[in-house]
Structure 1
Amino acid sequence: MVALVVALLTFVLLVSATLGSMALYGRLEEHHRTDDTNTSVRLVATMFVTMPSLLLGLMMNNAANTYVAIDRNLHVFATDIILLDRTLRPLGPSADEPRRYLLNYVEQALKDEPIVRATEDSEAWLDRIGSSLRALRFDDDEQKIALWNEARSVYRQMLQQRWTFTEQSDNPFPSPMVGILIAWLTLMFATLGFRAPRNAVVIGACIAAAVLISGAIYLILDMSTPFSGPIQLSDRPLVRAAQEIRK
């Protein structure tokens, strides 16, 4: 929702800046409409074209990389869940309790909105998994002891992976950076509209450019929060993990 509001606000500001500068030019006194003034304004516009373009490209690249990294970590997390279940199965009936807790955790995580949200219920199931693993005892069976140690190691790895993508997903772009970018773009569109011909072609081109830039900002902000909004990661890896545990 925030991404959509910011994108719409950006579009309104860019179009208003362009049309406003077009309308203002006709009302300026003659000495404000000389070729020297126009050249200076164009020079300022040239200076501001580079920085917004660079910043917009960097933000887009960062948002895409973050989205891909979180998606990869989510798949690794689901793989760790399946691996933990596979490690516990050879331990026999004594491992039924942690396996049941593991399934309960996955089912609870799928109910959470978003799935990375650390709710009390999901945290409780995770703690129960760890407690039940620590409570297991195998006296002289070296093979089961080795599997038990491996299961505890996978459990710690699973926890680490979970908090990794949880922290990554809660890292939106700083508001001042977005505000500065929008301010630069607004000034750039205002200077571009200065002394521009007031006809349908120019106005249409400016509106189209504003739509594309606003859309890019929307994509950047939405992809920076990959578990909310229209562009969000699928919960399919966790669904598949739950299916594997039930087998």
Structure 2
Amino acid sequence: MNHLVVAAIVFVCVFGSALIGLSVRSRLPAHHFSDESIGVVKLATGLIATIAALVLGLLVSSAKTSFDTVSAELTQNAASIIRLDRVLAKYGPETHELRASLKHIYSNSIDILETGDVVQLAKIGSPQAVSRTEEFQRQIEALAPRNDAQRGEKARALDIVESVFAARWLTLLQSKGSIPVALLAILVAWLSIIFGAFGLYAPRNGTVVIALLLCALSAAGAILIIQEMATPLDGLVRVPLGPMREALSRLGQ
């Protein structure tokens, strides 16, 4: 489901609970608002708020770690691509077509990543893309070194290709994280209970409604940020592709 839609659903649930609390307040008998009752509700709400805050903090930390990991792997992959190009250049003029093919494949990958579209991103791991990369690897394996220097460059090129392709799969797998539906439902339930209690014991006026509205937007925004960072290759928040563009500009030189 689209992250903005999920955030909107979270906002409706949370703010709706606050409005329900405000509407129920006028229908409750006076003894429900005694100091003892309010004290118990505050303690219970505080406990739920603490648990929700801990879970939100853990989710933000986990999503940020995933985002940073994918970003670092793309940067490392860009450096490896430059190394591969330089190793092929050292091998000799026989690798001119290989270097051109490498630049073409890498440019296509960057163009797909820049779209941020889930359908397009799926093409990076498609059988056609895998076949192209495997064919590129076979072309390197087919090189016939004429001396020890070329044999060494060929071995280094194959090692780099293996690491680059392994890193690509790792990046694709790590970029598909999301909040489990059950955890999200429980978290939204906790937030709804908290905001319902806020509305229940708050006076019904414009200032309170606006304050609850802003708090509900903040809660929905936190869920949106978590989901966006957990899927760093698509959506509104994506890993920067500057290092990859810089690497592409250096290929073939």
| TM-score, scaled to structure 1 | 0.92
Distance in 1 separating the partners of 2:94 and 2:169: 28
Q: Is the 8 A contact 1:115 1:235 kept in 2?
A: no
Q: How does 1:21-36 map to 2 (within 5 A)?
A: 21-36=21-36
Alignment partner of 1:147 is 2:153? yes
Alignment partner of 1:134 is 2:161? no
Q: Of 190, 210, 228, which aligns to 1:222?
A: 228
Distance in 2 separating the partners of 1:179 and 1:191: 18
Deviation at 1:237, TM superposition (A): 2.6
Deviation at 1:122, TM superposition (A): 2.6
Distance in 2 separating the partners of 1:171 and 1:195: 38
Alignment partner of 1:180 is 2:196? no
Deviation at 1:97, TM superposition (A): 3.3
Alignment partner of 1:122 is 2:155? no
Which residue in the other structure is 2:117 paired with?
none
Distance in 2 separating the partners of 1:88 and 1:78: 16
Which residue in the other structure is 2:175 paired with?
169
Q: Is the 8 A contact 2:85 2:252 kept in 1?
A: no
The one-letter code sitting in structure 2 at the alignment partner of 1:73 is: E
Deviation at 1:234, TM superposition (A): 2.7
The one-letter code sitting in structure 2 at the alignment partner of 1:58 is: L
Gapped regions of structure 2 (runs ≥ 5)? 113-119
Can you list the C-alpha shifts for 1:165-187, whole angstroms capped at 9, x where unaligned?
Answer: 11111122212111211111111
Distance in 2 separating the partners of 1:157 and 1:195: 59
Deviation at 1:51, TM superposition (A): 0.5
Alignment partner of 1:77 is 2:77? yes
The one-letter code sitting in structure 1 at the alignment partner of 2:125 is: A
Distance in 2 separating the partners of 1:200 and 1:120: 58
Which residue in the other structure is 2:99 paired with?
99
Q: Which moved more, 1:76-85 or 1:106-115?
A: 106-115
Can you list the C-alpha shifts for 1:159-218, whole angstroms capped at 9, x where unaligned?
Answer: 121112111111222121112111111111111221211122222211111111111111
Can you list the C-alpha shifts for 1:115-143, whole angstroms capped at 9, x where unaligned?
Answer: 8831344322211211001111114x111
| TM-score, scaled to structure 2 | 0.90
Q: Which moved more, 1:95-104 or 1:123-132?
A: 95-104
Q: Which moved more, 1:234-243 or 1:88-97?
A: 234-243
Deviation at 1:81, TM superposition (A): 0.8
The one-letter code sitting in structure 1 at the alignment partner of 2:94 is: S
Q: Of 242, 245, 252, which aligns to 1:236?
A: 242
What is the percentage of aligned positions where both structures have the same residue?
A: 27
Give the secondary-structure state (helix, strand or coil) at the position aligned to 2:239.
coil
Which residue in the other structure is 1:20 paired with?
20
Distance in 1 separating the partners of 2:91 and 2:44: 72
Can you list the C-alpha shifts for 1:61-104, whole angstroms capped at 9, x where unaligned?
Answer: 11112111111100001111110010010211222232232122
Distance in 2 separating the partners of 1:32 and 1:123: 66
Q: Which moved more, 1:142-151 or 1:114-123?
A: 114-123
Distance in 1 separating the partners of 2:124 and 2:175: 10
Distance in 2 separating the partners of 1:192 and 1:5: 25
Deviation at 1:34, TM superposition (A): 4.1
Distance in 1 separating the partners of 2:28 and 2:70: 53
- 1:6/1:12 Cα in 2 relative to 1: closer, same or farther (>3 Å)? same
Distance in 2 separating the partners of 1:117 and 1:219: 25
Distance in 2 separating the partners of 1:138 and 1:202: 77
Which residue in the other structure is 1:192 paired with?
198
Distance in 2 separating the partners of 1:61 and 1:88: 40
Which residue in the other structure is 1:86 paired with?
86
